[in-house]
């Protein structure tokens, strides 16, 4: 992170500019999508050229030295466009994990390679509702067999994670693993390593690329085992938890963006489509449904802003503590996950038959909203986390 | 940091001020919070709920006046007014004040509500200097106001109001009937809308008056409401004489002036109400959920109850941020035309959902709470009455349906409904 602090208004201006540019780029990109494809694809070169990949990478490694607050702006715009891109797996989760690790030659080199667009990491972490265990992989000392070199310290890693964003096509898979003492660490493997299988996991939302990562007894040398900053077990567990929060919040940013896009499309359509001799938007049933969409978006935007502020300030010693961040994230994720589905569903309804066509494209948003609602914790799972504060005595 | 925006220009570099320094303003918020907490511990009467339960109208009014003067002495009565009139508290500090008043279960300013919000904002936005000088200090001394807008035939369609004011030299003479006027029985003054040009289009023939409730020809009759109180009233007006200097704004421009008062009701008053909901209403709801029921189990241990609590708390958090944002945008003059409607609609319906849930969780014993204390607004903890009382927020000040129409038309730019035939 840069040491130059910005004032709130400078930051707001910066975000505005980033947003305008991103929106414009994505719109122009959308025009390029093929006739059968109803969403834009943002390819790797665009992510590299825009510098979005390296937003959170420190300047010393050729990144922009920005924070999650700026990444959130990009995520929001990608959601608005329902863009298909490996941004989530790579820049948000991969880079996010690397940023929480102890500095080290291998990690630093990977960061630099990502900023340059030469390497594509993905992060394998639990994607569902499990709250207890945040690590999906186990790390253990390799069994010493007869002919081994003494003291090589090789380890084996095993486990699996499903629905991993942008796993297929990644050059490096970062496994969130528990070491022998149960402390979370990150183990870097390649898809070509013996015992590692990365496969596509097709989902109905075609804009997302999820994968299954299975690791069976893959041997790694100690240089591939990266520890979280602070190294002590409690701090490492908090960092692992932070990664899950980051993942959930990233999806919430996307949900807000796509909900906004659906409301705008609906308002525009309701202003032009006429029935019974008047625009359908002049009927209260339609108008009031739009008003409800707007209220949900407005509330969700506030919850999201609070959570993004909290997560972006996580490294600040005077910033919020872990519990506050998690609470803010769970509020945003539970609210927006549900709201985006409601809003995309209402958009389909208010567009009538055209809303149900493949070509119309509302289904793209509805499917993305539905996947986002489940990914990294369904609303009920996040509310269970929130409610734990009320049940405790 | 250097952020590539792709636009070529360099952004976000150079000397910048330390972030966060300007937000809190000159007063340290933590210090202010401690000050309010101390004040509350010393000044909030511990037994006021018991004393106000079953209180007579006179006891209620006397208690409200006392409490108002106590708040005033501390500088807490009208923090949202401009500094020159005795307010000027930064929004961040107001939020703290309201949080602590709620957390300490302080009485609400129910009687002075219209005076410090609707009357004051009308005078500040559209009143003359003379009118402000006459009434703003008087309000601080306890002058009570009522809003006389609605009529039997003019509710949501306020512009069709029929009360007439005829010009007669330096005065106007008013005849008609007002309905649902909250607190009229205690009021010294009335914000009155009356028709001054019967031939003009509906909205172009209305004027806005300040009417002395002691004037001959004013007759107030209480109407019992759904929770059994007689807070709102009918006002009959027979040949009431109002001096022309009590006009607010030009003749026949009353509709525009009324928008100012309605905006206050819809938006600005919510800052305190949202903090009450978060710091008093919701807190009590959690208590209720943690109180073992007849079977010994706590409602909160039912995952469905826990889930609803988490959902409501999330929405209340969103509401509080929304209210604060609205007040800040209002002060910076950047609020959108339907922003206040969004807050009013979301607040009132969220309040209703929350109270509904509280009634469900509290079960039969809540139905045996037959009375609630006066001076508490909705947040009495007598859940059934509080739930029924929540319609006091979804109906007045523009019903929820009207708010949705405003949001759709003014906020989103959707086409208007075709005008009904007159
Ligand atoms: C507790 C309380 C306190 C009040 N205090 C005051 C006060 O101090 N001063 C004052 O002047 N007034 C006051 N009012 C009056 C309040 O402003 C009106 O009740 C309100 O504006 C609704 O008008 P109405 O009662 O005539 O209902 P109506 O306008 O007849 O409405 C009945 C129903 O029809 C719906 N409806 C009406 N028009 C439309 C439309 N165009 N589109 C869709 N739906 C529509 C409404 O939403 C409502 O559901 C108070 C009311 C209450 C309940």
A294–B309: do the CB atoms touch at under 8 Å? no
Q: Does one domain contain both A82 and A158?
A: no
Distance, first Cα to last Cα, chain B: 62
Q: Does one domain contain both A152 and A74?
A: no
Q: Does one domain contain both A212 and A252?
A: no
Contacts of A227 (CB under 8 A, 6+ apart): A101, A102, A183, A185, A186, A236
CA distance A323 to B258: 46
Asked whether the beta carbons of B345 and B400 are under 8 A apart, the reply is yes
Query: What radius of gyration do chain A's Cα atoms show?
Result: 22
Q: How far is A63 from chain B (nearest CA, A)?
A: 8
Strand positions, DSSP E, B135-188: 145-148, 164-168, 171-182
- Higher pLDDT: B8 or A15? It is A15
Residue B279 DSSP one-character state: I
DSSP-assigned beta bridge partners for residue A210: A165
Residue B18 has a pLDDT of 35
What proportions of chain B, in percent to the nearest 5, are helix, strand and coil? 50, 15, 35
* Chain A contact present for B416, CB below 8 A: yes
Residue B15 has a pLDDT of 33
Contacts of A153 (CB under 8 A, 6+ apart): A141, A221, A222
Q: Does one domain contain both A115 and A126?
A: no
Final residue of a structural domain among A211, A227, A243: A227
B317–A386: do the CB atoms touch at under 8 Å? no
For residue B300, give the nearest of A6, A287, A391 by CB distance: A391
Q: How many domains does the structure of chain A reveal?
A: 3
Helix (H) or strand (E) holding A328, with range, is: helix A322-350
The residue whose C-alpha atom lies closest to atom 17 belonging to ligand 1 is: B396
* Chain B contact present for A331, CB below 8 A: yes
Ligand 1: distance of its center to the CA of B148 in Å? 13
Tell me: pLDDT of A195 over 60.
yes
Q: How far is A19 from chain B (nearest CA, A)?
A: 9
The residue whose C-alpha atom lies closest to atom 38 belonging to ligand 1 is: B156
In A, which residues are within 8 Å of B342 by CB distance? 294-295, 298
**Number of neighbouring beta carbons within 10 Å of residue A8:** 13
In this structure, what CATH number is given to the domain that contains residue A252?
1.20.140.10
Question: Is B58 considered catalytic here?
Answer: no
Which residues 313-332 on chain B approach chain A with CB closer than 8 angstroms? 313-315, 317-319, 321-322, 325
Q: Does one domain contain both A221 and A356?
A: no
Q: Which of A238, A192, A209 is nearest to A88 (CA)?
A: A209
B19–A5: do the CB atoms touch at under 8 Å? yes
Residue B209 has a pLDDT of 98
B3–A279: do the CB atoms touch at under 8 Å? no
Q: Does one domain contain both A239 and A152?
A: no
Q: Please pick, among B100, B151, B265, B379, the residue that the annotation labels catalytic.
A: B265
Query: What radius of gyration do chain B's Cα atoms show?
Result: 23
List the domains of chain B with CATH numbers.
Answer: 5-116 (no CATH), 143-252 (2.40.110.10), 262-411 (1.20.140.10)
In this structure, what CATH number is given to the domain that contains residue A68?
1.10.540.10
B2–A267: do the CB atoms touch at under 8 Å? no
Task: Kindly give the number of the ligand 1 atom that is closest to the alpha carbon of B150.
Answer: 11
What are the CA-CA distances from residue B143 to residues A104, B112, B136 (Å)? 71, 8, 9
Low-confidence winner among A12-21, A317-326, B102-111, B263-272 (lowest mean pLDDT): B263-272
Ligand 1: distance of its center to the CA of A85 in Å? 50
Asked whether the beta carbons of A210 and A159 are under 8 A apart, the reply is no
What are B66's two structure tokens?
A: 């006392």
- Higher pLDDT: B332 or A143? It is B332
Low-confidence winner among A124-128, A358-362, A385-389 (lowest mean pLDDT): A124-128
* Chain B contact present for A58, CB below 8 A: no
CA distance B276 to B281: 6
Count CA within 13 A, CB hemisphere, residue B264: 20
In A, which residues are within 8 Å of B6 by CB distance? 21, 25, 49-51
Q: Does one domain contain both A275 and A139?
A: no
Residues A144-163, mean pLDDT to the nearest whole number: 80
Residue B265 has a pLDDT of 65
Asked whether the beta carbons of A108 and A61 are under 8 A apart, the reply is yes
What are A232's two structure tokens?
A: 């002590």
Q: Which residue of A has its CA nearest to B343?
A: A295
Using the structure block, give the residue that is written with the tokens 């780029």: A25
Strand positions, DSSP E, chain A: 121-124, 137-141, 155-165, 172-178, 184-189, 196-200, 210-220, 225-227, 274-275, 278-279
For residue B6, give the nearest of A21, A270, A288 by CB distance: A21
Tell me: pLDDT of A138 over 60.
yes
Q: Which residue of A has its CA nearest to B2?
A: A64
User: What is the signed CA dihedral for B406, B412, B415, B420, rounded to 10 degrees?
Assistant: 0
Asked whether the beta carbons of A340 and A256 are under 8 A apart, the reply is yes
In A, which residues are within 8 Å of B286 by CB distance? 390
Residue A14 has a pLDDT of 92
- Choose one of B110, B111, B115, B150 to mutate for the ligand 1 pocket test, by most ligand atoms within 8 angstroms of C-beta: B150
Q: Does one domain contain both A127 and A114?
A: no
Dihedral over Cα of A14, A18, A24, A25: its sign: positive
Q: How confident is the model at residue A142 (pLDDT cuts 50, 70, 90)?
A: confident
CA distance A160 to B313: 35
* Chain A contact present for B46, CB below 8 A: no
Residues with CB under 6 A from ligand 1: A 284; B 147-150, 155-156, 180-182, 232, 392, 395-396, 399, 401-402, 405
Contacts of A293 (CB under 8 A, 6+ apart): A259, A262, A263, A266, A342, A343, A346, A347
What are B238's two structure tokens?
A: 């027979």
Ligand 1: distance of its center to the CA of A230 in Å? 61
Q: How far is A79 from chain B (nearest CA, A)?
A: 18
Average pLDDT of chain A to the nearest whole number: 92
In this structure, what CATH number is given to the domain that contains residue A194?
2.40.110.10
What are A113's two structure tokens?
A: 């390679």
**Number of neighbouring beta carbons within 10 Å of residue B251:** 16
Final residue of a structural domain among A67, A87, A119: A119
Residue A147 has a pLDDT of 63
Residue A316 has a pLDDT of 85
Structural domain including A378 reads 233-391
pLDDT in tens, A234-243: 999 999 999 9
Contacts of B333 (CB under 8 A, 6+ apart): none
Q: Does one domain contain both A182 and A201?
A: yes
Q: Does one domain contain both A113 and A140?
A: no
A5–B16: do the CB atoms touch at under 8 Å? yes
Residue A41 DSSP one-character state: B
- Higher pLDDT: B379 or A82? It is A82
Asked whether the beta carbons of B133 and B268 are under 8 A apart, the reply is no
Final residue of a structural domain among A201, A227, A253: A227
Q: Does one domain contain both A357 and A261?
A: yes
For residue B417, give the nearest of A59, A282, A335 by CB distance: A282
Q: Does one domain contain both A109 and A252?
A: no
Consecutive sets of 10 residues in chain B, 422 residues long: mean pLDDT of each?
48 34 62 97 94 92 97 96 95 94 93 95 95 98 97 94 97 97 96 97 96 98 89 96 97 92 73 91 94 90 96 97 91 90 96 95 89 81 90 92 96 90 48
* Chain B contact present for A273, CB below 8 A: no
In A, which residues are within 8 Å of B13 by CB distance? 4
Residue B305 has a pLDDT of 96
What are the CA-CA distances from residue A336 to residues A365, B229, B323, B333 (Å)? 14, 40, 19, 29
Task: Kindly give the number of the ligand 1 atom that is closest to the alpha carbon of B391.
Answer: 53
């Amino acid at each position: 992170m840069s040491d130059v602090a910005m004032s709130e208004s400078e930051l707001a201006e910066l975000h505005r500019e980033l947003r305008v540019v991103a929106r414009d780029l994505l719109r122009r990109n959308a025009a390029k999508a093929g006739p059968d494809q109803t969403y834009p694809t943002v390819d790797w070169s665009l992510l590299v050229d825009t510098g979005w990949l390296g937003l959170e990478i420190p300047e010393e490694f050729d990144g922009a030295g920005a924070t999650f607050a700026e990444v959130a702006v990009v995520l929001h715009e990608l959601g608005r466009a329902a863009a298909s891109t490996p941004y989530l797996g790579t820049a948000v989760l991969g880079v996010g994990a690397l940023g929480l690790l102890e500095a080290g030659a291998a990690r630093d080199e990977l960061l630099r390679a990502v900023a340059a667009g030469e390497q594509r990491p993905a992060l394998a972490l639990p994607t569902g509702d499990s709250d207890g265990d945040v690590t999906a992989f186990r790390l253990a000392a390799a069994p010493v067999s007869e002919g081994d070199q003494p003291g090589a310290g090789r380890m084996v890693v095993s486990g699996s994670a499903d629905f991993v964003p942008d796993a297929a096509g990644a050059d490096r898979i970062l496994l969130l693993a528990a070491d022998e003492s149960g402390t979370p660490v990150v183990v870097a493997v390649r898809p070509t390593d013996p015992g590692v299988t990365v496969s596509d996991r097709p989902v109905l939302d075609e804009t997302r690329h999820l994968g299954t990562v299975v690791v069976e007894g893959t041997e790694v040398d100690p240089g591939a085992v990266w520890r979280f900053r602070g190294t002590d077990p409690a701090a490492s567990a908090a960092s692992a938890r932070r990664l899950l929060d980051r993942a959930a919040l990233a999806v919430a940013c996307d949900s807000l963006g796509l909900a906004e896009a659906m409301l705008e499309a609906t308002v525009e359509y309701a202003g032009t489509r006429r029935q019974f001799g008047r625009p359908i938007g002049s009927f209260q049933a339609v108008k009031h449904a739009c008003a409800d969409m707007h209220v949900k978006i407005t509330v969700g935007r506030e919850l999201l802003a609070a959570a993004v502020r909290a997560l972006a300030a996580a490294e600040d010693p005077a910033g919020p503590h872990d519990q506050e961040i998690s609470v803010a994230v769970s509020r945003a994720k539970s609210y927006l996950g549900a709201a985006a589905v409601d809003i995309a569903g209402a958009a389909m309804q208010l567009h009538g038959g055209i809303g149900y066509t493949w070509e119309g494209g509302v289904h793209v948003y509805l499917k993305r909203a539905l996947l986002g609602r489940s990914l990294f914790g369904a609303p009920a799972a996040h509310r269970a986390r929130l409610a734990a504060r009320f049940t405790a005595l | 940091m250097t952020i590539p925006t792709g636009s070529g220009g360099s952004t976000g570099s150079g000397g910048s001020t330390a972030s966060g320094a300007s937000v809190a303003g000159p007063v340290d918020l933590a210090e202010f919070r401690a000050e309010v907490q101390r004040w509350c511990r010393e000044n909030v009467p511990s037994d006021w709920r018991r004393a106000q339960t079953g209180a007579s109208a006179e006891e209620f009014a006397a208690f409200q006046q006392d409490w108002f003067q106590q708040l005033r002495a501390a500088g807490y009565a009208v923090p949202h007014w401009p500094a020159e009139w005795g307010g000027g508290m930064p929004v961040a500090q107001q939020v703290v004040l309201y949080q602590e008043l709620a957390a300490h279960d302080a009485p609400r300013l129910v009687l002075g509500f219209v005076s410090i919000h609707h009357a004051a904002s009308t005078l500040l936005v559209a009143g003359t200097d003379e009118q402000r000088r006459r009434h703003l200090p008087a309000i601080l001394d306890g002058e009570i106001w009522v809003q006389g807008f609605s009529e039997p035939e003019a509710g949501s369609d306020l512009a069709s109001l029929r009360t007439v004011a005829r010009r007669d030299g330096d005065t106007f003479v008013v005849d008609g009937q007002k309905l649902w006027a909250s607190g009229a029985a205690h009021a010294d003054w009335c914000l009155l809308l009356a028709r001054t040009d019967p031939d003009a289009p509906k909205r172009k023939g209305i004027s806005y008056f300040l009417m002395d409730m002691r004037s001959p020809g004013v007759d107030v009759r209480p109407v019992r409401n759904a929770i059994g109180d007689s807070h709102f009233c009918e006002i009959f007006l027979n040949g009431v004489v109002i001096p022309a200097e009590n006009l607010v704004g030009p003749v026949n421009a009353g509709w525009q002036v009324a928008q100012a008062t309605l905006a206050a009701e819809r938006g600005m008053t919510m800052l305190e109400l949202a903090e009450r909901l978060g710091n008093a209403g919701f807190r009590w709801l959690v208590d209720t959920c943690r109180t073992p029921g007849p079977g010994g189990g706590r409602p909160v241990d039912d995952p469905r109850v826990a889930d609803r609590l988490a959902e409501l708390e999330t929405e209340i958090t969103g509401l509080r941020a929304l209210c604060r944002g609205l007040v800040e945008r209002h002060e910076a003059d950047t609020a959108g035309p339907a922003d206040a409607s969004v807050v009013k609609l979301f607040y009132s319906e969220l309040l209703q959902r929350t109270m509904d849930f509280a009634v469900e969780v509290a079960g039969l014993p809540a139905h045996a709470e037959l009375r609630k204390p006066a001076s508490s607004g909705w947040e009495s903890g007598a859940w059934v009455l509080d739930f029924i009382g929540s319609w006091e927020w979804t109906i007045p000040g523009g019903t929820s349906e009207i708010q949705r129409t405003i949001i759709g038309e003014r906020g989103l730019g959707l086409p208007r409904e075709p005008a009904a035939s007159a």
